[in-house]
Amino acid sequence: MKLQQAELREVALPLVAPFRTALGTQEHRNSLLVKVTTADGAVGWGECVADDDPTYSAEYLAGAREVVRQFLLPRLSRAPELTAALVPELLRPVRGNPMAKTAIEMAVLDAELRTAGISLAQYFGATRTELAVGVSVGITDTVDELISAVDGYLRAGYARIKLKIEPGWDIEPLRAIRETFGPDIALQVDANTAYGPADQPHLRRLDAYGLTLIEQPFAPDDLLSHTRLAARMDTPICLDESITSARDAATAIRQEACSIVNIKPGRVGGYLEARRIHDLCLANGVPVWCGGMLETGLGRAANLALAALPGFTLPGDISASARYYTRDITAPFVLHDGRLTVPTRPGIGVLPDPDALQAATTSTELLTL
């Protein structure tokens, strides 16, 4: 294919409730969408998961947008015979910026598969048609509020609960959740790098709560502390922020810094790299699950296809639309018996609803390539 046009569109979606983590509080999801059109008239959609601020990682929305426009799209528009498989190689000379790269790789992949009449799940070699999914629960002002939030999600049918934790919000909420809901609910925690090496003795106390895993307690580049904690804790360590490529995953596994990997396409530079991490982890007996970045229905559709691969043995942060937004920009994803259905239509399998998209749009820019 040959790219002819790209539309950069920013959308602003109010979250149904503020989402607080160790990194800050989010009330809106502002997203950058990339729509590509090929010379043959095929269309593909990509979503950039960068946040407004460079706090989860170094990328941020306005910067990612500039990188897409100034450095990434020109490299793809110069390619005469573009395919999605070539995108990572064509973008490799640009350092970093994985979320910006993922957005345009996703758009090219979507256009290619729509033309070929193949769903993203088929393309990946997915083995499942519906997936049990989990929900990520933010930090609340009080333990009572947390209990009522978790109660609502369990009633909705979510297959596991992930609690965001930080120093001062860990033991007490965990004790309360176990006391209220018992030992059988699947429970895990995510620290978003909020702890330091000196917190190891404290973190070991989390072993008392029967957690599936503890996600990213330490800084992204501090593999050593994760290795040390893993050796001293029964709870499996899972890495999110630390893993930006298949090579990182191989290193972390080799160094025993984690025994479970959270895979987020945006963090690792694309769905193709995400697939490689899945393959590597499967070959090494390391369970993986699909992380989330409060995606719109577009990114969520693609994440469901990825998470339908056989190595994704743990429920992902791929919740129903209603957990995030009153009005998603696609047809809403709805939970049935704690499961979401993997899209089967060509490409990512969904399109934005024109009215919902229009209502959410804050800016658009059309680039002729």
Show which residues are catalytic: 164, 264
Binding string, 231-250, against ligand OSB, x = CB under 6 A? ---------x----------
The binder of ligand OSB chosen from 37, 97, 102, 136 (CB under 6 A): 136
Q: CB nearer to ligand OSB: give 238 or 272.
A: 238
Q: Judge whether 98 and 244 are in contact, CB under 8 Å.
A: yes
Nearest CA among 227, 258, 224 for reference residue 243: 258
DSSP states of 309-349: STT--S-BS---HHHHBSS-SSSPP--BTTEEEPP-SSBTS
Looking up tokens 């989402």 gives: 19
203-222 positions binding Mg ion, by CB under 5 A: 215
Q: CB nearer to ligand OSB: give 177 or 294.
A: 294
In the list ligand OSB, Mg ion, none, the entry touching 56 (Cβ below 5 to 8 angstroms by class) is ligand OSB
Q: CB nearer to Mg ion: give 112 or 190.
A: 190
- 7 beta partners: 35, 366
178-207 positions binding ligand OSB, by CB under 6 A: 190, 192
Looking up tokens 């709560």 gives: 209
Q: CB nearer to ligand OSB: give 265 or 292.
A: 292
DSSP state, residue 236? P
- 87 to each of 46, 65, 74, 76, how far by Cα in Å? 13, 17, 12, 7
| Of 64-72, 115-123, 285-293, 354-362: span binding ligand OSB (CB under 6 A) | 285-293
221-240 positions binding Mg ion, by CB under 5 A: 240
CB of 325 to ligand OSB, least distance (A): 11
CB of 139 to ligand OSB, least distance (A): 11
Beta strands in 115-236 (DSSP E): 130-132, 134-137, 160-164, 187-190, 214-215
DSSP states of 91-140: HTTS-S-HHHHHHHHHHHHHHHHHHHT-BHHHHHT---SEEEBEEEE---
Q: CB nearer to ligand OSB: give 299 or 352.
A: 299
Instruction: Give the whole-angstrom CA distance, residue 30 versus residue 14.
Output: 8
Nearest CA among 184, 189, 177, 268 for reference residue 233: 189
Q: Judge whether 102 and 272 are in contact, CB under 8 Å.
A: no
| Of 141-149, 286-294, 326-334, 352-360: span binding ligand OSB (CB under 6 A) | 286-294
156-195 positions binding Mg ion, by CB under 5 A: 190
288-347 positions binding ligand OSB, by CB under 6 A: 291-294, 317, 319
CB of 316 to Mg ion, least distance (A): 11
**Could you list the residues that contact Mg ion (CB under 5 A)?**
190, 215, 240
**Could you list the residues that contact ligand OSB (CB under 6 A)?**
56, 136, 190, 192, 240, 291-294, 317, 319
